[in-house]
Amino acid sequence: MLNGDISNVPLQNLIEKMNLENLTPDVDINKIELTMPDINRPALQLAGFMKDFDRNRIQIIGNVEHSYLKAQEDGVERMKNFLKTGIPCVVFCRNIEVEDEIIAAATEAQVALLRTSKTTSSFMAEVIRWMNVQLAPAMTIHGVLVDVYGEGVLITGESGIGKSEAALELIKRGHRLVSDDVVEIRKVSDDTLIGMSPEMTRHFIELRGIGIIDVKTLFGIESVKNTQQIDLVINLEEWDRDREYDRMGLEEHYVNYLGNNIVCHNIPIRPGRNLAIICESAAVNCRQKKMGYNAAKALYDRAMANINKSQE
Amino acid sequence: MVQKKMAIDITADLDRRPIAKLVQEASKFESTVYFEYKDKKVNAKSIMGMMTFISIMNRATAANDLIDVIVNGSDEEEAMKSIEAFFA
């Protein structure tokens, strides 16, 4: 499977998401794209120190930079020069008043000036978090993603092995579908993968012999979800007599997506095995392990304690 | 594993039937069949996968862009031939 393709974020998306006011309506914002999740507060640059300046970052001006510029005789001039450095946009926080002269200069340099009522630090934190998600490495996986008891369970396996059927039964048991067949995953941090559905097939399931069904309209809004962290992978495979399957669960097996390891269970399929109940049990068991209790280890400890006792 | 670059011509109409036919064709074989374009790789045996693939192709491709067809398994040669015949 392919991994790690990163695409840019159109500035328009940031404006809509953060509800920013565009002070330069004459700048063609459709042409501006953001390429990195980092931001810069340009205090040093406005003071004239340009070494190591990263022009691709979102520039954020808060109270401090603003009052510094006001205190300088050539403040407006400095800002004008700064706008010519090839930056994508400047965001003013706390609804700072921006001089007409600066807006005109920005329009000429085709740099978007934006404004928010938020305080600088909280706006920065929000932008970095959101941009990291938008610019995260992504890939698509053939599988079904379901939220089971709050755990994101990704069911994988060959075509026709029964992934969608398992998902449907899980939905009927009160769990939520995220995506059937095609799951887009994004690595938002070194230990978090987020899964979602391509818009095209969102909330639809394909069942062999019936066709496409729309889960959202059939079973209601409580049966679907748009995004979900992936906590666990269940790989369905045909029962193979010669293969050993995990009987204790003392050791965790992992599968690697985009450099992150996710716990993976290989579940052999045989007629009469109830997949939904197996998925449910795997999900709660995974959750219990996260909360600090491991049933396999508890059984093992109990057995060892008994052996030690009988030896005394 | 066999891999081939192909021009596909089902982006022109969004009629589900040719896609369904293609999925059926791919499903006849034991081998896994994947279609790949840029960062998208989908299972050709899956209707949902192919619908997504087609919608991406419609948005992103120039008319003469090629896609990768990747077939892997015991009957991969036959499967590849049949996919090629489908787009011929």
Q: Which residues of chain A lie closer than 8 angstroms to B45, CB-CB?
A: 159-160
Supply the pLDDT for residue B59.
61
Q: CA-CA distance, A206 to A161, in Å (whole number)?
A: 13
Q: Are the C-beta atoms of residues B23 and B86 closer than 8 Å to each other?
A: no
- Residue A237 contacts by C-beta under 8 Å, 6 or more apart in sequence? A157, A158, A161, A266, A267, A268, A269
> Residues 6 or more apart from A125 whose CB is under 8 A from it?
none
The partner residues of B5 in beta bridges, in order of sequence, read B68
Residue B13: what pLDDT?
53
Confidence band, pLDDT 50/70/90 cuts, at residue B63: low
Minimal Cα–Cα distance from A275 to chain B, Å?
20
Which residue of chain A comes nearest to B45, CA vs CA?
A: A159
Largest CA distance in chain A: 90
Q: CA-to-CA distance for A204 and B53, rounded, in angstroms?
A: 15
pLDDT at A159: 83
B4 touches chain A (CB under 8 A): no
**% of chain A at pLDDT higher than 90:** 68
What is the residue-averaged pLDDT of chain B? 81
Q: Is 80 exceeded by the pLDDT of residue B14?
A: no
Query: Could you give the ipTM of this predicted complex?
Result: 0.73
Q: Which amino acid is at B46?
A: S
Ranges of beta strands (E only) in chain A are 9-10, 21-22, 33-34, 39-40, 58-61, 89-92, 112-115, 138-142, 144-148, 151-157, 176-179, 182-189, 192-196, 204-207, 211-214, 227-229, 232-238, 254-257, 260-269
For an interface test with B, which of A168, A180, A181 has the most B Cβ atoms less than 10 Å from its Cβ? Answer: A181
- What are residue A200's phi and psi, to 5 degrees? -55, -45
**DSSP-assigned states of every residue in A99-112:** -HHHHHHHHHHT-E
The answer to whether A160 contacts B27, with C-beta atoms less than 8 Å apart, is yes
Per-residue pLDDT band for A136 (boundaries 50, 70, 90) equals: confident
Region of residue A102 (phi > 0: left; psi between -120 and 50: alpha; otherwise: beta): alpha
Distance from CA of B52 to the nearest CA of A (A): 6
Q: B2-87, what's its fold?
A: Histidine-containing Protein; Chain: A; (3.30.1340)
Q: Give the span between the Cα atoms of A214 and A216, in whole angstroms.
A: 6
Chain B CB contacts of A181 under 8 Å are 43, 46-49
Q: What is the pLDDT of residue B10?
A: 54
Spatial distance between the Cα atoms of B35 and B5, rounded to a whole number of angstroms:
10
Q: Minimal Cα distance from A179: which residue of B?
A: B48
Beta carbons of B1 and B72 less than 8 angstroms apart: yes
pLDDT per residue over A247-263, tens digit each?
787 788 999 999 999 99
Task: Compute, in degrees rounded to 10, the torsion defined by CA atoms A74, A79, A85, A87.
Answer: 170
- Residue A113 pLDDT grade (very low, low, confident, very high; cuts 50, 70, 90): very high
> Measuring CA to CA, which residue among A66, A60, A65, A38 is closest to residue A121?
A60
A261: three-class secondary structure by DSSP: strand
Residue A142 among the catalytic residues: yes
What is the three-state SS of A285-302? HHHHHHCCCCHHHHHHHH
Q: A208 — contact with chain B (CB < 8 Å)? A: no
Give, in order, the Cα–Cα distances in Å from A198 to each of A215, A277, B58.
15, 27, 14
| Residues paired with A157 in a beta bridge | A236
pLDDT tens track for A35-58? 888 899 999 999 989 999 999 999
Domain chopping of chain B, boundaries: 2-87
Backbone angles phi and psi of A179, in degrees to 5: -155, 140
Kindly list the structural domains of chain A, giving each domain's residue range(s) and its CATH number in brackets, ordered by start: 9-134 (3.40.1390.20), 138-295 (3.40.50.300)
Chain A contact for B25, CB < 8 A? no
Residue of A160, A182, A199 with shortest CB distance to B42: A182
Look at A79-88, A181-190, B37-46 and tell me which has the smallest mean pLDDT: B37-46
What pLDDT is stored for residue B62 in this prediction? 57
CA distance A42 to chain B (A): 35
The residues facing A227 across adjacent strands are A196
> What pLDDT does A178 receive?
97
Among A51, A100, A241, A247, the one annotated catalytic:
A247
pLDDT band at A240 (very low <50, low <70, confident <90, very high): confident
Say yes or no: A209 contacts chain B, CB-CB below 8 A: no
Q: Is the pLDDT of residue A126 over 90?
A: yes
Q: Do B39 and A2 touch (CB under 8 A)?
A: yes
Give me the pLDDT at residue A4, please: 44
pLDDT in tens, A228-238: 999 999 999 98
pLDDT, position B49: 86
Residue A192 vs residue B58, higher pLDDT: A192
Q: Is A175 a catalytic residue?
A: no
Q: Exactly one of A163, A175, A176, A187 is catalytic; name it.
A: A163
Confidence band of B58 (pLDDT split at 50, 70, 90): low
A139 with B39: Cβ contact below 8 A: yes
Give the C-alpha separation, B87 to A24, whole Å: 49
Residues B80 and B33 sit within 8 Å (Cβ to Cβ): no
**Predicted local distance difference test score (pLDDT) of residue A5:** 46
A208 is catalytic: no
Q: CA nearest B36 in A: which residue?
A: A2
| Whether A182 and B41 lie within 8 Å, measured CB to CB | no
CB-nearest partner of A142 from B38, B42, B55: B42
Residue A7 vs residue A279, higher pLDDT: A279
Over residues A20-34, the mean pLDDT reads 91
Q: Given a cut of 80, is residue B9 above it in pLDDT? A: no
Residue to test with chain A: of B11, B33, B35, B52, most A Cβ within 10 A: B52
Interface residue B42 vs chain A (CB under 8 A)? yes
* Ramachandran area for residue A151 (φ above 0: left; ψ -120 to 50: alpha; else beta): beta
Nearest CA in chain A to B33: A159
Please report, rounded to a whole number, the percentage of residues in chain B having pLDDT higher than 70: 82
**Is residue A163 annotated as part of the catalytic site, yes or no?**
yes
